[in-house]
Copies of this chain bind each other. A is one copy, B any other.
Amino acid sequence: MIPSDQHLQIGSLLFPGLDQIDLTGPLEVLSVIPNSTYQVIAATKAPIKDLHGLSMNADKTFDEVGQLDVLHVPGGPGQQALMEDETFLSFIRNQAEGAQFVFSVCTGALLCGAAGLLKGRKATTHWSAFHLLPYFGATPVNERVVIDGNWVFAAGVTSGIDGALQLAAMLRGQRVAEQIQLYMQYHPEPPFDSGTPERAPVEVLEAARNAAGELTARRLETAKAISAKLGIDPAGEGV
């Protein structure tokens, strides 16, 4: 826990083609952390659309933000266009260096990896990109939330809610996290048992893999290129 009288600067990244719930799930938690300032941060203040078309506006641009205490990096297919965007990656790299916590959700982990921040870390990401983590020097751990030092990794999409509640407890204690959870009425009852590749019906998994196939192939090519650039041997990193 961080002393309750220490004001926290918390920021979430927003970029075109992100998966909005990678941002908005954790936002529901992070924006109500006691004694904190929460901001959505992007390269521009112009409207930015997520994968599904939701149009959102950032509170601050990169150069309007000071050092954050908590940096939240969401993912989604739009991550792919930023894997060599030095402005975006530098922002992550510089903020992560001074932050007390970094919180990666879904394929936000690939962005952190492209920034060179995953070397030697235990990490997780969306199931469709899980096999790519070693290319960034990370050891993949197949859990919904993976904590490695001051890094919190949530797996795919909705796992950001679980990760954010864990992070809330790390920041302000379990009672605070529990009160947020109660307000959110977060006592989930998924109507079907199809939330992971291990549990989904075979034909559902196959259809989902096919739908993600092209993007997954492009992500692999990018991961290989970045791996070479960072001088990482993916076979030597816990695969």
Which residue numbers of A lie inside 8 Å of B, CB to CB?
19-21, 24-25, 27-28, 31-32, 38, 40, 47, 52-59, 106, 126-127, 144-145, 155-159, 161-162, 165-166, 169, 174-175, 177-179, 181-192, 194-197, 199-201, 203-205, 207-208, 211-212
Count the copies: 2
A184 to B182, CA, bound (A): 22
A192 surroundings in chain B (CB, below 8 A): 165, 169, 174, 177-178, 181
CB distance from A101 to the nearest CB of B (A): 15
CB distance from A172 to the nearest CB of B (A): 13
Sample of 17 A–B contacts (CB below 8 Å): A19-B28, A21-B25, A27-B52, A38-B52, A54-B56, A55-B57, A55-B59, A145-B189, A157-B186, A158-B185, A165-B191, A166-B191, A179-B207, A181-B195, A181-B200, A185-B196, A187-B190
A58 surroundings in chain B (CB, below 8 A): 55
CB distance from A200 to the nearest CB of B (A): 4
A189 surroundings in chain B (CB, below 8 A): 144-145, 159, 162
A165 surroundings in chain B (CB, below 8 A): 190-192
B195, A184: Cβ atoms closer than 8 Å: yes
B190, A195: Cβ atoms closer than 8 Å: no
